[in-house]
Amino acid sequence: MGTRRLAVLLAFIVATGLVACSRPAAPSGGKPTVRIGSTNFPEQLVLAELYGQVLEANGYSVERHLNLGTREIVAPALESGQIDMYPEYLATYLTFVTKDPSKASSDPAATQRALQDALQPKGITVLNYAPAVDTNGLVVTSNTATRDNISRVSDLVRFNDQFVLGGPPECPDRPFCLPGFASTYGLRFKEFKALDAGGPLTVTALKDSQVDVAVLFTTDARIQTEGFVLLEDDKHLQLADNVAPVVRNDLLSKASADFKDLVNAVSAKVTTQELTGLNKQVGVDKKDAKDVAAAWLKTNGLTR
């Protein structure tokens, strides 16, 4: 090899080596943009804001994809990577993913483990669950409760085929809603009216006697403010529906170690009582979910 050719080759090797050394390492432990989603009722908006704002306060960019629709829309969006995370409920989500109501239980830790097993092949992680539990509740007006001596869900059996039930449109397909009331309690309703998911349509229909019984979430503050009676789930149809954020693993692999810590710190402080209070501010007092979440995070020392 001639001197000139050798010099050119050495120059090429050196240049290539310098370029290789100057390439940035693959990103790890960073602050990637987080696309956070939610389903279509106020509590979900509040929870998404709580998680989103604590991440924003610690250097993450957050894209909000809120009020997307029912779980049938949002869960596939997470699996397909259209969103990175959203708040879920242990027992209901486990049943949705596995199509097997027997997988969930009243034990939140066991239900979380079963959920993580089911989510592993999908590349999704369930983070720490909150103390807050929100389940489907059957409610009646105080007049109905007094007149017909109703305090438990099982009391409704005396009125099979007589009462009209109102609730979310997806209730007839959900194992912890209409099918569960039928299989666990033997309940039959004269009619089901598709209204909304724990929203104003359901509350108004119950108040105006358009329905006799309504499905509301047990953390809905309007149960108390409207003087409704939440019927005791005396046969324990509803299981460990603790709030729990679910996150794509590909996001977790890019994020720094503080990501899980930040989200888990929020969950640790969300009790059923706290969540009911947040829901009241949005659903009853008509405050913006973003403002309600911001004030709560500051009060609880999670943001400045």
* 293/145 same-domain check: no
Domain span at residue 177 reads: 136-230
Asked whether residue 42 is assigned to any structural domain, the reply reads yes
What residues have CB less than 8 Å from 91, skipping those under 6 apart?
104, 105, 111, 176, 238, 239, 240, 241
* 256/125 same-domain check: yes
Residue 138 has what pLDDT? Answer: 98
Round to whole Å and give the CA distance between 303 and 155: 46
Domain end, chosen from 175, 207, 230, is at 230
* 245/121 same-domain check: yes
* 206/59 same-domain check: no
Asked whether residue 38 is assigned to any structural domain, the reply reads yes
Asked whether residue 212 is assigned to any structural domain, the reply reads yes
Asked whether residue 304 is assigned to any structural domain, the reply reads no
* 140/127 same-domain check: no
Domain end, chosen from 230, 261, 289, is at 230
Residue 269 has what pLDDT? Answer: 98
Asked whether residue 95 is assigned to any structural domain, the reply reads yes
CATH number of domain containing 91: 3.40.190.10
Asked whether residue 8 is assigned to any structural domain, the reply reads no
* 92/176 same-domain check: no
How many other β-carbons are positioned within 10 Å of the β-carbon of residue 44? 25
* 208/246 same-domain check: no
Asked whether residue 17 is assigned to any structural domain, the reply reads no
What residues have CB less than 8 Å from 7, skipping those under 6 apart?
none
Residue 2 has what pLDDT? Answer: 43
**Identity of the residue numbered 195:** L
* 254/123 same-domain check: yes
* 106/58 same-domain check: yes
Edge-to-edge order in the sheet of strand 164-167: 191-194, 164-167, 213-217, 136-140, 229-230
Round to whole Å and give the CA distance between 129 and 176: 20
Asked whether residue 121 is assigned to any structural domain, the reply reads yes
* 128/244 same-domain check: yes
Residue 199 has what pLDDT? Answer: 87
Tens of pLDDT along the chain (304 residues) come to 443 333 333 343 333 333 333 323 334 468 999 999 999 999 999 999 999 999 999 999 999 999 999 999 999 999 999 999 999 999 999 999 999 999 999 999 999 999 999 999 999 999 999 999 999 999 999 999 999 999 999 999 999 999 999 999 999 999 999 999 999 999 999 999 999 998 899 999 999 999 999 999 999 999 999 999 999 999 999 999 999 999 999 999 999 999 999 999 999 999 999 999 999 999 999 999 999 999 999 999 999 9
* 102/251 same-domain check: yes
* 275/127 same-domain check: yes
Number of domains in the chain: 2
CATH number of domain containing 183: 3.40.190.120
Residue 29 has what pLDDT? Answer: 65
